[in-house]
Structure 1
Amino acid sequence: MPHMADTAGTADTARVQGSYDDLFTAVPNALAALLDAGDTGGSVAVFVDGEPVVDVWGGFADSDRTVPWQRDTIVNVWSVTKTMTALCALVLADRGALDVDAPVATYWPEFAAAGKESVLVRHLLSHTAGLPDWEGPVEEVYDWSAATARLAGQALQWEPGSAAGYHSLTQGFLVGEVVRRITGRSVGEFFAEEVAGPLGADFRIGLPAEHDHRVALAVPPPHRDEDYRASAPGGDATAATTATAIRLRDGNSVAWRRAQIPAASGFGNARSVALVQSAMACGGTVGGVRLLSRAGCERAWVEQFAGEDRRLGMPVRWGLGYGLFGNTYGWGGWGGSMVMIDPEARMAVAYVTSQMREPAEDTRGLELVMAAYDGLQGQRV
């Protein structure tokens, strides 16, 4: 293991703590720059070969900036949660318990209603199923039975597989119910017992009350308040008139934390996100724990769709539960949190933050990924 330096920033406003390999100094420096620029708080982790080469955090865990961000501070990572839910499905597929080419109704018979017999499991994972919009009240997302029953009865907006439209809230219920039908466990339980537990990862889908004191609530972008609503960077605001908008105040609520909303309510820190997704970066095994085979990992990277996403309003490439970006894979969450996986480099980079920014203006994740690659280049010299 290379030398790991401890760090503590000199400026109180951008106090960065934790440890990092000397070659990866650019990463804590980049986090410090974000804090100096006004961000409330966040954490960054870089894992190579399943081992941390960066594990740093800084800033504050509250909007009043009175509570320092700690090593074990956790935050809602919004849609980064989708990569965790996808991993659960991929584990089941690797075990032969789930066929991604099978109709969803094979596992969830009620789902065949309203002409959905032709929707395949892989369509759920690749945002091509044709059920992109949550059309119920916000309160119903806290009720698993009601949420899944609503989606089972809903009609499709397009022929499955023919188009992609980001299933921002619905994907988690759809994939999660398939997981539940196969295993008899909620996706949160399955993830805890089969993924986070064996790895020792501090990440949960459905947060018990004893962890509330560790949560850094989301802070809206400048000039916004808790009624700030989720929207896509280039999306057409008129494209989904029946969709229910999720507000920042919803995500900061106790009800949101307690519920299992597997597309958007995962809580963790950068360390836990990078640790879990290192399994995908390292051929299915991390820290001596084998979650799935190399072939099981590679299944996720097979392109399912490439083109304009009807909800995001921009070109995308979708694999099974992950966005494809050249030879890297991952996804980001509303407000800025993200994970990036590079199987060739056996690297996972995770950034989580409570400080939201407008999606069209947010380059923080990319900046931190590039800083991580600086360190990787140093390793190879």
Structure 2
Amino acid sequence: MAFPLPESNPEALNLDPRPLARLCAIIERHIAEGHHPGAQVAVARHGKLALFRHFGEARLGTAATADTLFLMYSNTKVVTASALWLLAEEGLLRFSDPVAQHVPEFAAHGKDGITILQLLTHQGGFPSAMVPSECWSDHARLRQAVSDFTLEWTPGSRVQYHPTAAHWVAAVLVEAITGQDFRSVIRERILMPLGLEREVVIGMGEADLPRAAEIYDPKQDGAFVPRAAENTAAHHAAGIPGGGGYGTAHGMAAFYQTLAHGGMLGGTRLFSPRMIEFVTRNFTGDRIDDYMGIPMHRGLGPHSRGETPVARGLGTIGHPRTFGHGGVGSSYCWADPTSGVSFAFFSNCRQTEAFHNQRMDVLSSLAHAAILPD
């Protein structure tokens, strides 16, 4: 299947090319300064690709290409959550349902009242819970592992980012309702209908391993350090639902085009407009996310810009309805439904949050600055 976004150019899509040129120049400068070996960036509007570029090296000594798959880290969360949106569209769950309604053993240790909405908005109460790697490929053990999670605080009483735990529960929910591996559901029900199964990969097969960029820590003694935990075939195959997917920038720009346009990409409708409006609402108001230290305006997967002075990743000057997600120290993807623009940036170094937050505010704000009225 052909890539779903026809190629265009900024001017044809009412985008000012000057901020986009500055954006690309900053990415090139950051690579020259040694902040990361390689990167991709993409900007799309109205179902067409305005910009897609790759930079530097996917792995040290190997150039990045248009086909390079970058570790998405927590950008994966929105893709995973979209499987639950689809099941809600089909009447197989309600967001007000307790998780334990579908996974009865999850009720253990006082978790019986946690709703799917609380789960996806990082209000579940078990942010530090972990799934051992031996459970990644054994889904009966995975279900038991998430059921054994214990609470750190009363569900709904706080907003605190759950780095991986909540979306392991989401994966188990998908499997409990469908009877299928969550990775297969995402591939067959979300990515394949959109024509994105080669561009967004949750659970990487052996054939795609050569396309995968390595992920690095910042330079030590002048050299990038590969991250041992992530650069393994087992990690690639697991498709960790909260942070282990891989993607291209133009693939995620296309995914967010679907969301920017009310659930439709090209001629394929995946979600209803009302569903997209609902899951991208701000369900946590201006409450502080205790992990991030600022309001995150959580939706059921993505977070939104909102109207607070400080934003994470989506660009200070972005429209309040802009929504998206980041990947720790390395990436951000978002959509602005008011203009029809989507944006994706990936790099292959897990930089410090201080650098990453400043970098993404600049890059995202430049993308917003390019948006001209239709």
One-letter amino acid of the structure 2 residue matched with residue 375 of structure 1 = A
Q: Does 1:296 align with 2:290?
A: no
Q: Residue 54 of structure 1: which of 51, 76, 90 is its match?
A: 51
Describe the SS at the equivalent of 1:250: coil
Describe the SS at the equivalent of 1:114: helix
Tell me, in whole angstroms, the C-alpha distance in 2 between the residues paired with 1:343 and 1:40. 32
Q: Does 1:214 align with 2:211?
A: yes
Tell me, in whole angstroms, the C-alpha distance in 2 between the residues paired with 1:294 and 1:375. 26
Conserved 8 A contact 1:25-1:375: no
Deviation at 1:195, TM superposition (A): 1.5
The C-alpha deviation readout for 1:72-101, integer Å capped at 9, x for no partner, is: 011111101001111111122222222001
Q: Residue 129 of structure 1: which of 124, 130, 151 is its match?
A: 124
Q: Residue 370 of structure 1: which of 334, 343, 365 is its match?
A: 365
Deviation at 1:224, TM superposition (A): 8.5
Conserved 8 A contact 1:176-1:262: yes
Q: Aligned residue for 1:189?
A: 184
Tell me, in whole angstroms, the C-alpha distance in 2 between the residues paired with 1:167 and 1:197. 28
Tell me, in whole angstroms, the C-alpha distance in 1 between the residues paired with 2:39 and 2:89. 34
Q: Aligned residue for 2:91?
A: 96
Deviation at 1:324, TM superposition (A): 1.8
Q: Does 1:153 align with 2:132?
A: no
Describe the SS at the equivalent of 1:369: helix
Q: Which sits farther off after the overlay, 85-94 or 301-310?
A: 301-310
Q: Which sits farther off after the overlay, 208-217 or 33-42?
A: 33-42
Q: Aligned residue for 1:4?
A: 9
Tell me, in whole angstroms, the C-alpha distance in 1 between the residues paired with 2:148 and 2:222. 35
Tell me, in whole angstroms, the C-alpha distance in 2 between the residues paired with 1:221 and 1:138. 25
Aligned residues: 345
Describe the SS at the equivalent of 1:348: strand
Tell me, in whole angstroms, the C-alpha distance in 1 between the residues paired with 2:223 and 2:82. 31
Tell me, in whole angstroms, the C-alpha distance in 1 between the residues paired with 2:8 and 2:118. 45
Q: TM-score, normalised by structure 2?
A: 0.85
Judged with a 3 Å threshold, the aligned counterparts in structure 2 of structure 1 residues 157 and 71 are, in CA distance, closer, same or farther, namely same
Q: Does 1:328 align with 2:322?
A: yes
Q: Aligned residue for 1:310?
A: 290
Within a 5 Å distance, the mapping from 1:255-294 to structure 2 comes to: 255-294=234-273
Q: Aligned residue for 1:337?
A: 331
Conserved 8 A contact 2:124-2:166: no
Tell me, in whole angstroms, the C-alpha distance in 1 between the residues paired with 2:352 and 2:262. 35
Conserved 8 A contact 1:226-1:249: no
CA RMSD, 1 decimal: 2.5
Deviation at 1:308, TM superposition (A): 2.2
Describe the SS at the equivalent of 1:376: coil
Conserved 8 A contact 1:85-1:262: yes
Deviation at 1:309, TM superposition (A): 2.1
Tell me, in whole angstroms, the C-alpha distance in 2 between the residues paired with 1:168 and 1:55. 29
One-letter amino acid of the structure 2 residue matched with residue 106 of structure 1 = Q
Tell me, in whole angstroms, the C-alpha distance in 2 between the residues paired with 1:203 and 1:260. 11
Tell me, in whole angstroms, the C-alpha distance in 2 between the residues paired with 1:343 and 1:3. 19
Deviation at 1:319, TM superposition (A): 1.1
Conserved 8 A contact 1:227-1:248: no
% identity of equivalent residues? 28
Q: Which sits farther off after the overlay, 154-163 or 198-207?
A: 154-163
The C-alpha deviation readout for 1:318-374, integer Å capped at 9, x for no partner, is: 111111212211111112111111111111111111122111221332222222223
Q: In structure 2, list runs of 5 or more residues that go unmatched.
A: 1-5, 307-320
Conserved 8 A contact 2:168-2:241: yes
Q: In structure 1, list runs of 5 or more residues that go unmatched.
A: 6-19, 229-246
Q: TM-score, normalised by structure 1?
A: 0.84
Deviation at 1:180, TM superposition (A): 1.2
